[in-house]
Structure 1
Amino acid sequence: MTTILIVVLFVLQLLSFYAIVILNTKLAKFQDLEKKQERLMREMDDTISLYLTEMKDENNRLISELQTVPKPQSIVAAHPIMQEEQHIELEAQQATVERSSKEESKTNFEVEQRVFVPKNIAVNAYSRQQNASNNTVNQSAPVAIQEAVIEETQKELTLEEQVIKLSKQGQTIEEIAKQLQKGKTEIELLLKFHS
């Protein structure tokens, strides 16, 4: 009887060791998975921070380029379409800009004088330009070409679709970024999120 009891205890002990080994391997796999997840999170954080710094640089570059744009006074002189009331509105806005710039110059900040065009004037000029360009397209292009242009604009791909398409064609991230005029980090992010 004692031998049977010893054999049963020995078998149970072997089973418990087997269970411990299985649990240990599962725990090791879980720890490896956790390490991989942490590494992936660090990579994503680095990629996003690079993307944000690239965006900040692009924004700073855009701001500096916008500050070098010629003053709108020369634009007003170039457009004979402006009417008398529009000139009056511009002069009133110039006066308010000059007053505010004088106030701000008292605080030792350099202020660039800007002239703002009213929204309704900009909308009217934009719609006139669109109508003029549409009339030239409508008069010079046959109906088949117009339909092809409409179809082409409808088939226009999103940025992500373009990146994926170019990537499948075998282009590198640098080539895709240069072709789409986007940052390399942005292209990397799109490809990482897609896969």
Structure 2
Amino acid sequence: MGFLLTVSFLIHGLSLFCIILLYMQVTKVKRIERLHQQNINKMEAAMGSYLAEFQEQNEQFLRQLRERSTSLSSEVEKSSVKSPLVDEEDVPVQRVDLKSEPSQSLHELLSIEENQKHIRTPFDELTTDQIQDLSGEEIKEFSFYLKRKGLTIEEIAKHLHRGKTEIELLLKFHQ
């Protein structure tokens, strides 16, 4: 009988120990849930204030835009009202003979201007500063030139200081 009583006390002690461990686990989970809910509330408050501030800035921007448009329209109206009307009779008329040939100097200027447009440094002699200053069309030409030379897309991108995907798309659209 004493043996059974001892075993009963051991089982009761073990069950009490398990109950205490489970209670600690439950309180820990509840505490984590409470902290999580507090963090959610803080984030909602921060997002709400951010959205309210953003909306206020948008409304202020729209007000300024409306004010500018009204002030510009009123200025245009004032300037159109203030400008004197010109009678067609008061304006002297010059007659130009369109059949006459343009002067030799005009032809020279046009040819010089066209030559200057076509003069540019070869692609091999471009510096990094010149490469960065290239326009979109020149970048296309330069990338095609480098591709014809046998460079890979990565090498072309590195040489042009552009993204690999940008060069891939540029070459793909050209094909």
TM-score of Structure 1 vs Structure 2, range by shorter chain: 0.3 to 0.5
Question: Normalising by structure 2, what TM-score?
Answer: 0.45
Greater gyration radius: 2
Highest relative contact order (Cα 8 Å, sep 6+), 1 or 2? 1
